[in-house]
Amino acid sequence: MKMMKRTTKTQRAQSRRVGGPLRTVKPKTKELYNYSLRTFVRWVALHMSWPQTNEGLDACACAFIMMAWQEGDTRALVGNLISGIGDSEPSLRQWLHGARRLHTAWIKRELGGRCCPMTGWMARAIAGLLLFWNFEREAFVFLLGHYAILRTMDAAGPPVSDFVLRPLLGSGYLNLPDTKTSTRHGRAEAVTLDSPELVNWCAKLCEGMAPGDKLLTTSIGSLRKHFAAAVSTFGSQELDLQLYSMRRGGATEHFRRTGSMAETTMRGRWANFATCKLYVDAALQDKAQLRMLHLRKAKNAQAFLCKYLAALSG
């Protein structure tokens, strides 16, 4: 049995300083929690007295949820409120029975919309058009997100140091140290890159960059804008195609290729099959490709991408 290497207190303290402060949620998520908490506190101050018991807090939260439902507020406001209360004071989580039941009822009554998954053919066409428009890094990030089933920020945010590439072998992997799942479960993640095309392309983009530089030098807003322009160019603006379609489409493509929900769940780094199944929708993916109007433009864009990748490998 392999023995674990012992570390000193100084070494552990140094590694923890590099990893940053101990936290349960990301700062941006904390901001959403705080916004919902402030909204809740202001509403309670205007409409009722502040509760003095845990049961009273649950009753106030239920009244607030009923108001939010009637006023047309978003479900995220309520979800962030419940999570924010539990994050600020973990002992209160067990007392929010009524609020959680109302939130569950809201979810069942008002199912959220899901973006349309795109096929690999569509993803390569969009990447080819972005490349034709000289948005090379955005084209790579989009294709990488589809291939590796990445969340949008995971695809757009990694620095050069997170990529470990072996171009001669046509393989590598991408470290994902700070994702939603890694934060939740307390362990870093990684995704294998076994596509020689993507590995060679990534190696080219990383040339001359410092380890801390982000591979995508533009903003996520710019990527969304150019993605929407590409969708419009192909006449697919009536479809519910969003930037997150690359992850959902990548999951569907992987399931169709392997026929294994277990492998798809592992590739997409989901905790269970049920969550993965929400992303896989082969019928909707087929429908999306059939409704792409300007097929000639899409084929030309894909051919442009193929020539570019062939030149890299050659």
| Mean pLDDT calculated for residue range 212-240 | 89
C-alpha–C-alpha distance, residues 123 and 230, integer Å: 11
**86-138 tens-digit pLDDT:** 988 989 989 999 999 999 998 888 765 667 888 888 899 999 999 999 999 99
Residues of the chain above pLDDT 70, percent: 90
Please say if the pLDDT value at position 217 is more than 70: yes
Please say if the pLDDT value at position 208 is more than 80: yes
Please give the span between the terminal C-alpha atoms of the chain, in angstroms, as a whole number. 45
**Which residues have CB under 8 Å from 313's CB, separation 6+?**
196, 197, 200
For residue 157, the model assigns a pLDDT of: 82
User: CB–CB of 206/163 below 8 Å?
Assistant: yes
Q: Which residue has the higher pLDDT, 132 or 7?
A: 132
Bridge partners (DSSP) listed for residue 166: 171
**234-273 tens-digit pLDDT:** 888 777 888 888 998 899 999 988 989 999 999 888 888 8
Domains in the chain, CATH or no CATH each: 26-109 (no CATH), 120-313 (1.10.443.10)
C-alpha–C-alpha distance, residues 260 and 276, integer Å: 11
C-alpha–C-alpha distance, residues 136 and 159, integer Å: 16
Determine the distance from the C-alpha atom of residue 140 to the mean position of all C-alpha atoms in its chain, rounded to a whole number.
Answer: 16
Return the residue matching tokens 């890094």.
Answer: 137
Determine the distance from the C-alpha atom of residue 233 to the mean position of all C-alpha atoms in its chain, rounded to a whole number.
Answer: 25
**155-199 tens-digit pLDDT:** 888 899 999 999 888 889 998 877 666 555 556 788 999 899 999
Average pLDDT, the chain: 86
How many Cα neighbours within 13 Å face the side chain of 125?
23
Q: Which amino acid is residue 261, in one-letter code?
A: M
Please say if the pLDDT value at position 3 is more than 60: no
14-24 per-residue burial string, b: 16 or more CB within 10 A, e: under 16:
eeeeeeeeeee
